[in-house]
């Protein structure tokens, strides 16, 4: 038992270190070739300059001043926030996917299964059609509309499934119905979008181009809140996996816990979708992969899925930027192309052992 806890701690530490390494690599590599020394100088220059100021060392004060402005801008204002947002979105989708799979006891569940994605898409498309994209609320309009749409669709699903005692099956069915309905609304909006068509379609493909610190900061609170709730209830999630009745006898307030977990994962999904559009596969595959590697106990699965989701998304985004540079590949293509075969490999390996 002691050894198990220890090895688990090492695994988390390893994943966390990998996350930091991936962050560094993803900022270092890009379409524009920037030498590693420039990155190191850019990262450490504020600290070294401050020390130089303190101890009046002229050489230290000049450290990193020779890095061109354009490079500094690309590294700190384009790449770093973009990678950070990709990581947050990966964490959010993967965590939400793991929760949904546990909660609905359905291995095919992903963060979008209850219609959050179609609601968000309708919200974003409506905002674009009304011309809210830039003037009214600045860059905030479309993320806010997508977020509202995503949450709105879950409200619909939730209230529709109330009738039959809000069983898991009822919710899944209501989710399918609402998704289909919103899909039709979206098609209608796209039909009338005319000039905005390109913008709507582009948003639906998903991706992280144009993500900046503003996006990062605006989803961070939702991400922190949602993950805290999910981590807090990870034990109850294990109990729920045994069945509602079983969980009830184990002292779990089934209705309330499910309610909370559902909203927490909807919050995570909606915040991710609002900044990066619809990116499939991450929320389905990463939790499964972690389950295959580390077992189904949510207390272990959730942190692992969160870290791995962040790593996976950042790497997928890196590939999307580099493969066809200076053009960009849609990141959803990468997540499906890399995630699919990897997932099959894991499945096969497990069946053998």
Q: With contact defined as beta carbons under 8 Å apart, do 92 and 269 qualify?
A: yes
Q: Applying CB under 8 A, which residues contact another protein?
A: 30-32, 69-71, 73-74, 77-79, 81, 131, 133-135, 139, 191, 194, 196-199, 202, 207, 209-210, 212-213, 321, 325-328
Residues 6+ apart with CB under 8 A from 158: 166, 171, 174, 262
What burial class does residue 349 get, using C-beta atoms within 10 Å of its C-beta: 0-12 exposed, 13-18 middle, 19+ buried?
exposed
Structure tokens that stand for 63 in this block: 């450290």
Nearer to another protein, 244 or 328 (CB): 328
Q: Smallest distance from the beta carbon of 326 to another protein, in angstroms?
A: 4
* Length of the chain (residues): 353
Are residues 254 and 244 in contact, defined by beta-carbon separation less than 8 angstroms? yes
Which is closer to another protein, CB of 173 or CB of 329? 329
Residues in Cβ contact with 323 at an 8 Å cutoff, skipping those fewer than 6 apart: 329, 334
Shortest reach from residue 119's CB to another protein, in Å: 22
The Cα–Cα gap between 308 and 286 comes to: 7
User: How many whole angstroms separate alpha carbon 345 and alpha carbon 112?
Assistant: 24
Looking at the Cβ atoms of 55 and 191, the one nearer to another protein is 191
Phi, psi at residue 295, to the nearest 5°? 90, 165
Q: How far apart are CA 228 and CA 50, in angstroms?
A: 36
Closest to another protein by CB, 27 or 151: 27
How far apart, in whole angstroms, are the C-alpha atoms of residue 95 and residue 83?
18
Write down the least CB distance from residue 39 to another protein, Å. Answer: 13
**Minimum distance from residue 108 beta carbon to another protein (Å):** 31
How many whole angstroms separate alpha carbon 208 and alpha carbon 143? 13
Q: How far apart are CA 323 and CA 94, in angstroms?
A: 24
Shortest distance in whole angstroms from residue 94 CB to another protein: 24
Q: Closest distance between another protein and the C-beta of residue 144, in Å?
A: 16
Q: Of the two residues 7 and 327, which places its CB atom closer to another protein in the complex?
A: 327
CB nearer to another protein: pick between 150 and 207: 207
40: which 2 tokens?
């190191």
Q: Choose between 31 and 37: whose C-beta lies nearer to another protein.
A: 31
Work out how close the CB of 212 gets to another protein at its nearest, in angstroms, rounded to a whole number.
4
């Amino acid at each position: 038992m002691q050894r198990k806890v220890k090895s688990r701690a090492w695994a988390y530490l390893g994943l966390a270190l990998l996350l930091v390494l991936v962050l560094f690599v993803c900022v270092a590599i890009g379409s524009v070739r920037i030498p590693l020394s420039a990155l190191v100088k850019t990262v450490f220059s504020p600290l070294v300059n401050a020390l130089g100021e303190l101890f009046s060392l002229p050489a230290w004060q000049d450290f990193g001043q020779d890095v061109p402005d354009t490079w500094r801008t690309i590294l700190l204002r384009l790449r770093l926030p973009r990678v950070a947002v990709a990581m947050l979105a990966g964490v959010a989708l993967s965590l939400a996917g793991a929760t949904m799979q546990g909660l609905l006891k359905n291995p095919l569940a992903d963060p979008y299964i209850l219609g959050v994605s179609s609601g968000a898409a309708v919200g974003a498309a409506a905002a674009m059609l009304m011309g809210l994209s830039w003037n009214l609320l600045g860059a905030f309009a479309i993320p806010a509309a997508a977020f509202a749409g995503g949450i709105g669709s879950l409200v619909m699903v939730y209230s529709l499934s109330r009738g039959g005692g809000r069983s898991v099956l009822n919710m899944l069915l209501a989710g399918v119905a609402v998704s289909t309905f919103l899909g039709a609304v979206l098609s209608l909006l796209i039909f009338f979008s005319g000039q905005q068509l390109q913008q709507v379609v582009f948003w639906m493909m998903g991706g992280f181009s144009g993500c900046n610190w503003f996006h990062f900061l605006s989803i961070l609170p939702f991400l922190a809140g949602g993950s805290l709730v999910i981590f807090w209830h990870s034990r109850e999630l294990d109990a729920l996996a045994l069945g509602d009745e079983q969980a009830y006898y184990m002292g779990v307030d089934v209705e309330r816990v499910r309610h909370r977990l559902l909203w927490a994962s909807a919050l995570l999904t909606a915040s991710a979708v609002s900044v990066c559009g619809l990116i499939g596969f991450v929320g389905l595959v990463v939790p499964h992969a972690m389950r295959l590697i580390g077992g189904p106990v949510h207390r272990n699965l959730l942190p692992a899925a969160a870290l791995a989701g962040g790593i996976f998304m950042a790497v997928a985004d890196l590939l999307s930027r580099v493969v066809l540079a200076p053009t960009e590949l849609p990141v959803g293509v990468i997540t499906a192309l890399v995630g699919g075969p990897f997932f099959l490999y894991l499945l096969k390996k497990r069946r053998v052992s």
